[in-house]
Amino acid sequence: MGNNKEVKYINPEGMPPTFGYTHVVEVKNARSIYISGQLALDNEGQIVGKGDLATQTKQVFENINKALEAAGACFKDVVKLTFFLTDISNMKVVREIRDQYVNTANPPASSAVEVRKLISEDFLIEIEAIAVGDL
């Protein structure tokens, strides 16, 4: 497998300024890796950080990291993140943790959505990821 993947991060003129995300990520010559929405569960399926968004977010990013590694990828390969929060007013907490994982010079495209609740009321956040790897 050669390193022929091309990833272009684009913030077009005339669009609003970005804060930790990129408006457009163009990918050529790569395989796609889709990671299901991850929750704050440990490797035994137990909730981590009940009532604590920062702890839950850290656990979710650690789970995504393990999923990426299983696919032979890492966070620099992530081109899209989707955040689902039960209280979007706490997004600042999530961004601070996200920035410990993603390439902040070329951050992934992102969406954040407030939801009434997740699979259980104990969960405060769920995150999906899309990454690209070499063919």
Query: What interhelical angle do 91-98 and 53-70 show, nearest 10?
Result: 40
2 pLDDT more than 80: no
Separation CA 6–CA 29 (nearest Å):
6
pLDDT in tens, 8-21: 999 999 999 998 99
Cα-flanking dihedrals φ and ψ of residue 45, to 5°? Answer: 80, 15
**Which range is least confidently modeled, 1-5, 16-20, 35-39?**
1-5
At 79 the pLDDT is 98
**Structural domain boundaries of the chain?**
6-134
92 pLDDT more than 70: yes
At 134 the pLDDT is 87
pLDDT in tens, 65-75: 999 999 999 99
Closest CA to 104 of 73, 134, 69, 75: 75
What pTM does this model have?
0.93
- Exposure of 73 by Cβ count < 10 A (0-12 exposed, 13-18 middle, 19+ buried)? buried
1 pLDDT more than 60: no
Neighbours of 2 (CB within 10 A): 7
Q: 6-134 has which fold? A: 60s Ribosomal Protein L30; Chain: A; (3.30.1330)
